[in-house]
Amino acid sequence: MLTEVRSALPENIRSSHHRLFIAVLLAAAVLRVITMLGYPPAQLYWYDSFTYLDTARHLRPSATFHPVGYPLFLRLLAPFASVTVVAAVQHALGLATGLIIYASLRRHRLPAWGATLAAVPLLFDASFLRLEHAVLSDTLFIFLIVAALAIADRSPLAAGLLLALAGLTRTVAVPLILLVLVFLLVRRHWRAALTFTLAGTIPLLLYATWYQAHHGRFALSGADGVALWARTMTFADCRVIDPPPEEARLCPTEAVQDAASEYVWDPDAAINRLPGGRFAHNALARSFAIRAITAQPFDYLSEVLRDTAITFAWTPVPHPARVTPAFGFAHGAQTLPPQPLVYQARQNYSDIRGIQSVDPYASFLIAYQYPAYLRGPMIAAILLIGAYAAIRRPRTAALPFTTAMFLLMAPVAVLDFDHRYVLPMIPVACWAAALAFTAKDDPPESPGARA
């Protein structure tokens, strides 16, 4: 697959001198070295990081929020028995993603300075440094999405496989397979569309079959219904919905939270009062949520738009209120909870411990993160330019812009807003915006797309 990605890049990207971008890439690499020196070994979150590590060790489809894509990535790195290595590889993936954006824009004849500028937020925003340094799926997810889009019209087989892996890393990416398929069909790349469809769907079908063997249902996740139910808890009115008795057990209780995702974990929320645990009622929760959205479509849309708008605030808005939405580099040490998953992870990874700041590197990053943060109005401006590009250059910019908008709104629509969930759309949005400044659109056809 790496050969397919490399072959999709234009020859001049591989052979010419691109001094500006090389200098920028080296500076970004230095930042990542400073991050690793300032906060060894890697950022670990309870309980997401340890669930990923446990699933990688005992490979099986998870019945909760985490599909198997990222654990497979961790399993490839398991022989090193080091979360430091995981963080290092993820930092390298961040640099590789920036390179893909640059190379793709140069293929569309954007000047070197413009293509470099489009990669700057990904390479230098402190939020991406923190994300790459954490044992979380986001960095891999971003890489897979960007790589797939870069080769969608040139290597459909590789693009389909990459998007399938993205869907197995975070299921929110699965609809992107349909989006790219529409893109190929509109451009009348019939053979490419067929190849892409097979490559994008077969891995998902195989995983769903494996999931059924473990959990008794043909699915990619056991938490989609629970997530969508939580989304409806901010507006659901059972007097309007009038659910049947079985679903009525999921009507809002006296529990009140300031963010939809908090209802998943609130012990007083309706789903957590049912026997067997929240995920045992995933299908029932999905049915209730669909009924609620159908009965109150404008309330649902209003909540989605309201939460999405948090993205565009100048000062990051805590959502939920208990979290720190940005500027997470700080002095001090992290203490890991005394949990069985933590103990098991320590048996398999020699360097697992609570992260600790190390000066002078940490102090530099703490100061750096405040100016090196993409503020909400800047994101809005990038999206507006991307929308202009999609209208002016539909053959090249429509797909990345539509993908960026999907990545922005889909997590909010199916669960809730999270500042972390905004980050995957930023590189794609910058890519779309940069295409507004290309001299002309793609040629009518490219040979690779017909293959």
pLDDT, tens digit (0-9, with 9 covering 90-100), for 259-276: 999 999 999 999 999 999
Confidence band, pLDDT 50/70/90 cuts, at residue 17: low
Structural contact between residues 61 and 210, judged by C-beta atoms closer than 8 angstroms: yes
Residue 24: name the closest of 121, 134, 137 by CA.
121
Q: Give 90's Cβ-side CA count (13 Å radius).
A: 29
Which SS3 state, helix, strand or coil, does residue 326 take? coil
pLDDT recorded at residue 1: 58
pLDDT recorded at residue 358: 96
Task: Name the DSSP letter for residue 419.
Answer: H
**Any idea which of 74-78, 99-103, 297-301, 329-333 has the lowest mean pLDDT?**
329-333
What is the sign of the dihedral through the CA atoms of 26, 29, 35 and 41?
A: negative
pLDDT recorded at residue 15: 44
pLDDT recorded at residue 447: 38
Confidence band, pLDDT 50/70/90 cuts, at residue 442: low
Tell me the CA distances in angstroms from 19 to 26, 91, 96, 111, one per residue in order.
10, 21, 17, 12
pLDDT recorded at residue 425: 97
**What are the residue boundaries of the structural domains of the chain, listed by start?**
2-216+321-450, 224-305
Question: Which residues neighbour 345 within 8 Å (Cβ) at sequence distance 6 or greater?
Answer: 50, 53, 54, 352
Q: Is the pLDDT of residue 177 over 60?
A: yes
Residue 383 is which amino acid? L
Please give the structure tokens belonging to residue 222.
């056991």
Query: What are 60-113's pLDDT values in tens digits?
Result: 998 888 899 999 999 999 999 999 999 999 999 999 999 999 999 999 999 999
Q: Is the pLDDT of residue 8 over 50?
A: no
pLDDT, mean over the chain: 92
Tell me the CA distances in angstroms from 405 to 142, 241, 308, 413, 423, one per residue in order.
14, 30, 11, 12, 12
Q: Is the pLDDT of residue 173 over 90?
A: yes
- The rounded distance, in Å, linking the Cα atoms of 295 and 298 is 9
